[in-house]
Amino acid sequence: MQTEKPPKTFLQIMFMCLGFFGIQFGWALQMGNMSAIYTRLGASEDKLPMLWLAAPVTGLLVQPIIGYFSDRTWCRLGRRRPYFLGGAIFSAFALFLMPQATAIWMAVIALWILDTSVNVSMEPFRAFVGDILPEPQRKTGYAMQSVMIGAGAVIASSLPQILAKLGVSTKAAIGHIPATVRYSFFIGAIVLLIAIIITIVTTPEYPPDDMEAFKKLQKQSKNPWTTIKEMWSAFTTMPQTMRQLAIVQFFTWMAFMLMWVYFVPGIASGVFHAAAGTEAFEEAANWGGSCFSIYNGVAFAFSFVLLWLTTRFSAKAIHTVCLAIGGIGLASLGVTLFGVQFTKTGLIFPMVCIGIAWSSILSMPYAMLSNALPAEKMGFYMGVFNFFIVLPQIYINVCFGSYMKYLLNNNAIIAVAIGGIFLLLAALAMPLVHVNTAHQE
């Protein structure tokens, strides 16, 4: 890569990150609607974690591989952009397919296609910032990604409710998906594709400084054994900051997987006292989508506050406080253990808290990590960093169904409160992280 990268204007950084808006638009539709879709198709609460397994497993397998090969790619589209485009096309296809499922197995297949494709598009975006921006602008780049993620998630999470207010039907028989959800997924497919194409068209990439040396590296990568040895060597020698952040990430992403899987079923039973297939359940599912929109809206708004905070405080301090706030909010749902009932509006408090945490989670770990990574392995290490996001999710998906069935009596709202405790543990682990303070102050 070029040694000296020219600084980018605010508009150039915005277009560079616009693809993340599209990716998060599609992903937010999945996060806000998949548990309700599975429940409508007949899945019970203890089966939900396994049905969500596609997201973490595809992230575990796809992201480091795509990161490794995108480090060694150069063609007419550049280094990272070919992966953006290929992933976007298949993601759009899966978004069209998902809401037409009439059986659980159909929804599972669509989810695996969607998550694999989204990971192909998303992984190179983290390295894209390091490729394109000079070091002083990287915090701004990751914060702009957070802005785009927040904007995409807010609109996507609200879309079924917006369509309902426009007169689109929210009713569907058991085994079918309401029109509001179907049309939301169709719109999401179009938005995702257009956003990524705009990034591809407006943001050229820098070619390698030494093309001959780069071509030799490409040839070495064609030997599978050489590739495996190189990936293993890089993994075992990962930077200290990355290893320490792994602990924080592990607790953080167990918390969010619990929230994504169990929030809608939790409020349906614990707040609306509704069973699947009833009108009250549809109301709960719609309000759950609104709650997801609230936390994503808060994350979007707070991402602008983060831009200001990063000029005055370290990323480490910011992230510690934000994780603690999110943990307090989510754990507050545990008061149901003592007979206290949440109202619809009472759910806004934990969503505001989780939105503050989410904004930091999307940017501050990468700000702490980016300057600790060698430029020539940026894509691979960003992919490996995803291990510490998906492994805790896989643990929840594989193991938590048994906890729900045998320990928690399928009480989904308690599972969400346990997620809050995990966020508090993540905040307590932050003092263990050593960062390059010259870049983080």
Residue 385 predicted with pLDDT over 90? no
Closest CA to 49 of 133, 89, 108, 127: 108
DSSP string spanning 144-211? Answer: HHHHHHHHHHHHHHHHHHHHHHTT------TTS--HHHHHHHHHHHHHHHHHHHHHHHH---PPPS-H
pLDDT (tens digit per residue) in 216-251: 666 666 666 666 676 677 677 788 888 899 999 999
DSSP strands (E only) in 365-432: none
Cβ neighbours of residue 173 under 8 Å, at least 6 residues apart? Answer: none
For residues 77-99, give the mean pLDDT.
89
Domain ranges within the chain, ordered by starting residue:
10-217+230-440
Which has more confidence, 139 or 393?
Answer: 393
Give the model's pLDDT for residue 2: 45
Query: Per-residue confidence at 439, pLDDT binned at 50, 70, 90?
Result: very low
Q: Return the ∠ at Cα 153 (arms to 297 and 182), rounded to 5°.
A: 130
Q: How many residues in total does the chain contain?
A: 441
Query: Sign of the CA dihedral 188, 194, 195, 200?
Result: positive
Closest CA to 262 of 28, 46, 25, 16: 46
Give the model's pLDDT for residue 226: 65
DSSP 3-state assignment of 323? helix
Name the pTM for this structure: 0.72
Give the model's pLDDT for residue 128: 84
CA dist., res. 230 & res. 96, Å (int): 38
Give the model's pLDDT for residue 354: 94
Residue 375 predicted with pLDDT over 70? no
Token duo for residue 340: 């206290």
DSSP 3-state assignment of 75? strand
Give the model's pLDDT for residue 30: 84
pLDDT (tens digit per residue) in 169-195: 877 776 678 888 889 999 999 999 999
Give the model's pLDDT for residue 223: 60
DSSP 3-state assignment of 373? coil
The answer to whether the beta carbons of residues 166 and 312 sit under 8 Å apart is no
CB-count exposure of residue 378 (10 Å: 0-12, 13-18, 19+):
buried
Give the model's pLDDT for residue 308: 83
Q: Which fold has domain 10-217+230-440?
A: Growth Hormone; Chain: A; (1.20.1250)
For residues 77-91, give the mean pLDDT.
89
Give the model's pLDDT for residue 341: 72
Query: Per-residue confidence at 438, pLDDT binned at 50, 70, 90?
Result: very low
CB-count exposure of residue 403 (10 Å: 0-12, 13-18, 19+):
middle
